Structure 1
Amino acid sequence: MRPASSPARRFPRTVASTWSDLNRSPATQAGPAKILAFERDGAHDRLSISFGSKILEGFPDRSAQADGLDHPGRPFHGRKMSYRVWAIRAGGESEADPLFIENGLLAVSFLSVDRDVSALPAQRAAFKAAFAEDRGQKPSAIPIQAGQLFRFVHEMKIGDRVVYPRKIDRTLLWGEISTPYLYDRSTNPDFPHRRGVRWLKSLAREEFSQGALYELGATLTIFEIRNFVAEFVRRFEPPAGAGESASALVEDDTQAVVARDIVETTRDFISKKLKTELKGSPIEPFVADLFRAMGYNAHATRASRDDGIDVIAHRDELGIEPPILKIQVKAHDGNIGADLVKSFYAMIHERDVGIYIATGGYTAAAREFARAKANLKLIDGAEFVGLVEKYYDGLGVKFRKLIPLKRLLVPDFEQVE
């Protein structure tokens, strides 16, 4: 399955033709047609198309190929999805799982507003104000928390579908919301905000593509599934006559994409921390610590002038054996020009090595100058982040707390033949 937002050229002519017909259809008055996903499934071309907030999923009629696909009005064998699909969690440690499974309830905590919020005006601003009454609430968290509870109360509708990623047995439960919002502190008072649910089906996580599972990995308690909604609907409620869908166990072309996304998300996080938490002089002790993690004896110099040497590193204990690394660090978003690099290099003795580290990049002229100098090394933002990743475990506790990361294993598709 592959997401898609543009028609025609990427898809078989049946799909391109169906796209053309649907865009001329009165149904598009709800909004411009958009292909959500396309999949070749045996004898069928399976297509998911959205019109505004509505979704169609089904099969363009391939028999039209014999007619040259030149006439309009080609049938689209599918069904209209009148519901939205949500994901919900049962607490960090599945504390609300008994309510979900045994009581048929979706239950969320949000104890900063421990009262019946159905009496609040149906406005996000009112929910934000209610959360702001809790003095212990972080201001930055208020819009996120308030937005989730608002959606739970007002945007989730009876008949909408919900996916519950159950940690206990690593399954995905598919249910239909069956009641309006209710406030109830019985059984488990830590999860008082509730809605009824009718569970329809349970499938193993392995039945879904890695991309679909990755979308479920969002850190929010409640959120709407958008990118892989067609896959969830197809697997939990396959259209009549659609046949058996190809299992994600057989082939999953989203795995490599997800692995890359995880890596890139980590690098983005490191880069952001370097540019915000360590901007200015605090970055110099960090770089010294990084070089110690790399096996050097390193220390930050006292900040005296902006174009001076920020960090000195060497292999021997006394710092007298060449080469001595003299390092300058710039927490700078733009490209460092040749003039700054040349000024720095003027302070580097022939037996020393100059290392210029920037959180941004370098101009072509700066890189050309550095290439001509055997004892000058430019490290840009991407390479800097890569070094932090590689030597993270050797950093001091102070800096690991500043850039909190957790080791995990992801598939290495470069090694897969």
Structure 2
Amino acid sequence: MNSNEEKRVWGIHTMNDALFLNDNVIAIGWREMGDLKQIEGNREAFKERYNKVYPDSKKGAVANGVGMLYRFVYDVQIGDYVVFPSKIDRQINIGTVESDYIYNPNAEEYVQQRKVKWLKHLPRTSFSQGALYEVGSAMSFFAVKNYADEYLGALDKSFKKAVISSEDDESVGATADDIVETTKDYILKVLSKNLKGYELEEFVADLLTAMGYRTSISAHGGDSGIDITAYKDELPPRILVQVKSQDGDIKETTIQSLKGAMREGDYGLFVTLSNYTKNAQKYLDSVPIIRGINGTELVDLILKYYGNLSEKYRRMIPLKMVYIPMPNDKE
């Protein structure tokens, strides 16, 4: 029995829409890997070949590349479904796999191929935002799981190309939240990787400047424990800033050292990429003249004032402004 439920659904991307649509194939690159059938049929052998061909690849890239290549050759079966979003016409193309793996050395780039039969070409507006988000995966080749039924349902003769509004599409909010959280994770990783010690102090000073504060960075190696001094304008209050790039949570005693450096009328600001211990958070709550900012809150400020950051830091954290659909909240 060959029901849709027994068939797997795969998603794929390409930079060559014409190849897929005109030649009725799906394909992936990695030309230097050669004929994948000449590699022993296990992931370790694929990994060994990948590391040899691409010796400078990072560990994560190796794992992703090997996984996609192996799945394309061995996990995909004739009769499986494939979903391909084409950029040239903004369509969702759904088909079935018609052949085993084919190595095409004459192809310009996409030498790893399989024949497909395209069954339907539908506008993107026919699908929920969640379904579109899933096939917008960052990977070139992947399994479609969460919204497989929606794509298979589109093959039914009774399927209507109805535009799904954000009012009816519960996945819109989840999709937007996923994008935002992924962006925040990315920013924190970039900061943790590139900004340690004095470099993080310089970044925080730049962010405060972007927020409208006048800042001066303390001389390195000073005994005061104050990294940055900031003013909103020419007049008091003075804001004393301490910055920590350590991985562990900030302890109460560390914040108390900032309090000890403050004079009457001063305000304190403590910035960390990590978080605060419970006792440290209790201390912050009991001393309102000191504000603590953790990694998550720092990222929120970066997103809010990103356009005012120095070009140096915008290059370090390259972001693009996009508009994300949000669900309508109705009381």
Q: Same fold (TM over 0.5)?
A: yes
Matched-pair contact (CA < 8 Å) for 2:93–2:122: yes
CA deviations over 1:231-277 (Å, ceiling 9, x no partner)? 11122247xxxx65795615211111111111111112122223333
Question: Which residue is 1:266 aligned to?
Answer: 183
Q: CA deviation at 1:139?
A: 3.2
CA deviations over 1:15-49 (Å, ceiling 9, x no partner)? xxxxxxxxxxxxxxxxxxxxxxxxxxxxxxxxxxx
Question: Which residue is 1:76 aligned to?
Answer: none
Q: Aligned partners of 1:244, 1:101: CA distance in 2, in Å?
A: 22
Question: Which residue is 1:190 aligned to?
Answer: 109
Q: Aligned partners of 2:50, 2:290: CA distance in 1, in Å?
A: 54
Q: CA deviation at 1:309?
A: 0.9
Question: Which residue is 1:321 aligned to?
Answer: 235
Question: Which residue is 1:82 aligned to?
Answer: 6
Question: Is 1:218 the equivalent of 2:137?
Answer: yes
Question: Which residue is 1:281 aligned to?
Answer: 198
Amino acid at match of 1:260: D
Q: Aligned partners of 2:259, 2:312: CA distance in 1, in Å?
A: 31
Asked which structure has the greater RCO (Cα within 8 Å, sep 6+), the reply is 2
2:299 equivalent among 358, 365, 385: 385
CA deviations over 1:143-170 (Å, ceiling 9, x no partner)? 2222211111111111111001011111
2:86 equivalent among 153, 158, 166: 166
Q: CA deviation at 1:391?
A: 1.1
Amino acid at match of 2:179: I
CA deviations over 1:157-186 (Å, ceiling 9, x no partner)? 111110010111111111111111112244
382-391 vs 275-284, greater mean Cα deviation: 275-284
Q: CA deviation at 1:226?
A: 1.1
Q: Aligned partners of 1:170, 1:307: CA distance in 2, in Å?
A: 59
Q: CA deviation at 1:369?
A: 3.5
Question: Is 1:405 the equivalent of 2:319?
Answer: yes
Q: Aligned partners of 1:368, 1:382: CA distance in 2, in Å?
A: 18
Does the C-alpha gap of structure 1 residues 184 and 363 become closer, same or farther in structure 2, counting only changes over 3 Å?
closer
Between structures 1 and 2, the one with greater strand share: 1
Amino acid at match of 1:326: L
Does the C-alpha gap of structure 1 residues 363 and 184 become closer, same or farther in structure 2, counting only changes over 3 Å?
closer
Q: Aligned partners of 1:374, 1:192: CA distance in 2, in Å?
A: 63
Matches within 5 A, 1:221-232: 221-232=140-151
Does the C-alpha gap of structure 1 residues 371 and 128 become closer, same or farther in structure 2, counting only changes over 3 Å?
closer
Count of aligned pairs between the two proteins: 328
Does the C-alpha gap of structure 1 residues 275 and 416 become closer, same or farther in structure 2, counting only changes over 3 Å?
farther
Please identify runs of 4+ aligned residues in structure 1 that moved more than 6 A.
Answer: 414-417
1:176 equivalent among 83, 93, 96: 96
82-91 vs 327-336, greater mean Cα deviation: 327-336
Question: Which residue is 2:220 aligned to?
Answer: 303
Matched-pair contact (CA < 8 Å) for 1:163–1:172: yes
Question: Which residue is 1:99 aligned to?
Answer: 19
Q: Aligned partners of 1:398, 1:127: CA distance in 2, in Å?
A: 39
1:157 equivalent among 70, 73, 77: 77
Matched-pair contact (CA < 8 Å) for 1:333–1:359: yes
Matched-pair contact (CA < 8 Å) for 1:132–1:139: no
Matched-pair contact (CA < 8 Å) for 2:224–2:261: no
CA deviations over 1:381-417 (Å, ceiling 9, x no partner)? 2211111111112222222222222111112446777
Does the C-alpha gap of structure 1 residues 112 and 349 become closer, same or farther in structure 2, counting only changes over 3 Å?
farther
Matched-pair contact (CA < 8 Å) for 1:297–1:315: yes
CA deviations over 1:129-148 (Å, ceiling 9, x no partner)? 22223356423322222221
Matched-pair contact (CA < 8 Å) for 2:251–2:279: yes
Does the C-alpha gap of structure 1 residues 307 and 111 become closer, same or farther in structure 2, counting only changes over 3 Å?
farther
Question: Is 1:253 the equivalent of 2:173?
Answer: no
190-199 vs 400-409, greater mean Cα deviation: 400-409
Q: CA deviation at 1:100?
A: 1.0
Q: Aligned partners of 2:110, 2:224: CA distance in 1, in Å?
A: 56
Q: Aligned partners of 2:282, 2:48: CA distance in 1, in Å?
A: 56
Question: Is 1:340 the equivalent of 2:240?
Answer: no
Q: Secondary structure in 2 aligned to 1:362?
A: coil
Amino acid at match of 2:123: A
- Over aligned residues, Cα RMSD in angstroms? 2.6
124-133 vs 385-394, greater mean Cα deviation: 124-133
Q: Secondary structure in 2 aligned to 1:384?
A: helix
Amino acid at match of 1:341: I
TM-score, structure 2 length as denominator?
0.89
Matched-pair contact (CA < 8 Å) for 1:350–1:375: no
Matched-pair contact (CA < 8 Å) for 2:206–2:310: yes
Q: CA deviation at 1:331?
A: 2.5
Q: Aligned partners of 2:31, 2:161: CA distance in 1, in Å?
A: 43
Question: Which residue is 1:144 aligned to?
Answer: 64
Q: Secondary structure in 1 aligned to 2:74?
A: helix
Question: Which residue is 2:125 aligned to?
Answer: 206
Between structures 1 and 2, the one with greater helix share: 2
Give ranges in structure 1 of 5+ residues lacking alignment. 1-53, 57-78
